[in-house]
Amino acid sequence: MTTEATREVSVKQSEVPAAEEREQMRTVVPPVDVYENNEGVILLADMPGVPKENLDVLVDKDVLTIKGKIAKVVPDDLKPLYAEFGAAQYERAFTLGADVDVSKIDAKISKGVLRIFLPKAEEVKPRKIEIEVE
């Protein structure tokens, strides 16, 4: 019979990934909230830990792609015994409709949240029709 003080922690070898696998950068799909107003569509992507210099927002044809990299968070002089999160890259793509004015897309990042504004083209924005009296 073992007590709490003498119990040993064992880890199955099959559960521990090889060193090469741990060093590979994993891809994370960032969660995104999507809002629409009369002016366009707003995407809010959660990308904590990604600095501006490691962030890319690309438009190619009708696809908007967001990519970001998180650097290794453990200092080189330390070796973690257990880590659930390390170096990673975020990546997500969206297909844009013809009603988006691609030339006016705007992106900002603040406190780990990437905000992308996709403006509607002028011809698809709602407009009020003036009524004339005859």
CATH (domain of 24):
2.60.40.790
Mean pLDDT of the chain: 80
pLDDT at 118: 94
Is 95 part of a structural domain of the chain?
yes
pLDDT at 93: 95
Residue 17 clears pLDDT 50, i.e. is over it: no
pLDDT at 76: 75
pLDDT at 16: 45
Is 14 part of a structural domain of the chain?
no
Is 129 part of a structural domain of the chain?
no
Cβ contact 68:46 at 8 Å: no
Is 9 part of a structural domain of the chain?
no
Is 100 part of a structural domain of the chain?
yes
The domain of 96 spans 19-119
The pLDDT confidence band at residue 97, using thresholds 50, 70 and 90, is confident
Lookup: tokens for 113 = 């949240």
Mean pLDDT value across residues 93-105: 90
Domain count, the chain: 1
CA distance 84 to 48: 15
Query: What Cα–Cα distance (Å) separates residue 120 from each residue in 22, 63, 108, 113?
Result: 43, 15, 18, 22
Is 126 part of a structural domain of the chain?
no
Is 132 part of a structural domain of the chain?
no
pLDDT at 18: 46
**How is residue 131 annotated by DSSP?**
P
The pLDDT confidence band at residue 86, using thresholds 50, 70 and 90, is confident
Lookup: tokens for 90 = 């975020």
Which is more confident, 92 or 125?
92
Is 1 part of a structural domain of the chain?
no
The pLDDT confidence band at residue 84, using thresholds 50, 70 and 90, is confident
Which is more confident, 73 or 117?
117
Alpha carbon dihedral 11, 15, 21, 24, in 10-degree steps, equals: -90
